[in-house]
Structure 1
Amino acid sequence: MIFRKRKRSIIRLLLVEDEPLVAFDTEHLLSEQDFEIVATVDRVSDAVATLQAGHDIHLVLVDVRLADGSGIDVARAAGERGIPSLFVTGDCPPEAELVGVGCLYKPFEQRDLLQSIKAIEASRAGKVPRRLPDALRLFSADRGNEAPRVSQTPDATIQQSSVPGRE
């Protein structure tokens, strides 16, 4: 029997993070896992410019609070191009749910970031993710090709719900 890696649908990432150490560690981790980092930027304006340049980007990892504005604006610009955004933040505002696929709460374990990307991939393929990191919250699928709301119950089973505001 031949074993092979599952083909990924999310490979090319835009990283938007204004904390240099977090950006460096995240970029290093993802590169080691064979993701392609299209760009690592620390400003809303640079992220939007990268998106407008027409790069082939599969997912945007974006902090909410950035030096020159909000990651919400980056996610909005990405969404206009059909690119999903995962907020990687310590505090996920309610409006994030309108423009992103989920929030990964800081601080997080490296494996949680990798599992979060896998969960988004599975959700976008119409599958229920096997396991969600405790630090991840995925949002509703009411906006077309985005991830369905998936949450873990106390017994660690996965449920789906499309009711906004319900976990």
Structure 2
Amino acid sequence: MISATNPLAGCRVLLVEDEYFIADDLRRQFEESGAEVLGPVPRVEEALELIAATPQIDAAVLDVNLQDEMVYPVADALRARGVPFIFSTGYEKTTIPERYAGVKHCEKPLEAAQVAKALFA
């Protein structure tokens, strides 16, 4: 599934992002890299429903703040399933709770190659 030259090829990537243009741009970049995009979804509740309904998720990109709701319940659900994820945000890393200290953090704007490196490096 994951290749050294194109780690996103063949991956099912959950995209949780509430900014339409960012979500659409990432979706397009991921698909051009050979990934299957789940979503994008703009709300915590929708993301949790998608996680529950999807048996295979290889990785996820989570915007920290979704319409004034923090994404941490989604992060917890992914962590419980062993799915690697990154946080994408404009916030400083210090604003993310300590329990996520080991989770990689990418600042917006994101690019598919940056995300792949963060997820699979």
Aligned to 2:45: 45
Aligned to 1:98: 100
Distance 1:100 1:62, change over 3 A: farther
Partner of 1:89: 89
* Deviation of 1:94 (Å): 3.0
TM-score by length of 1: 0.60
Report the RMSD for the aligned CA atoms in angstroms: 2.5
Which has the higher Rg, Structure 1 or Structure 2? 1
Give identity over the alignment, percent. 33
Count, aligned residues? 116
For residue 118 of structure 1, what is the amino acid of its counterpart?
K
In structure 1, the partner of 2:119 is 120
Contact 1:87 1:100 in 2 (8 A): no
By percentage of residues, which structure has more helix?
2
How do residues 68-83 of structure 1 correspond to structure 2 at under 5 angstroms? 69-83=69-83
SS state at 1:45 partner: helix
Structure 1 unmatched runs, 5+: 123-167
List, as ranges, runs of 4+ consecutive aligned residues in structure 1 with deviation greater than 6 Å: none
- Normalised by the size of structure 2, how large is the TM-score? 0.81
Change in 2 beyond 3 A, CA 1:51/1:68? farther
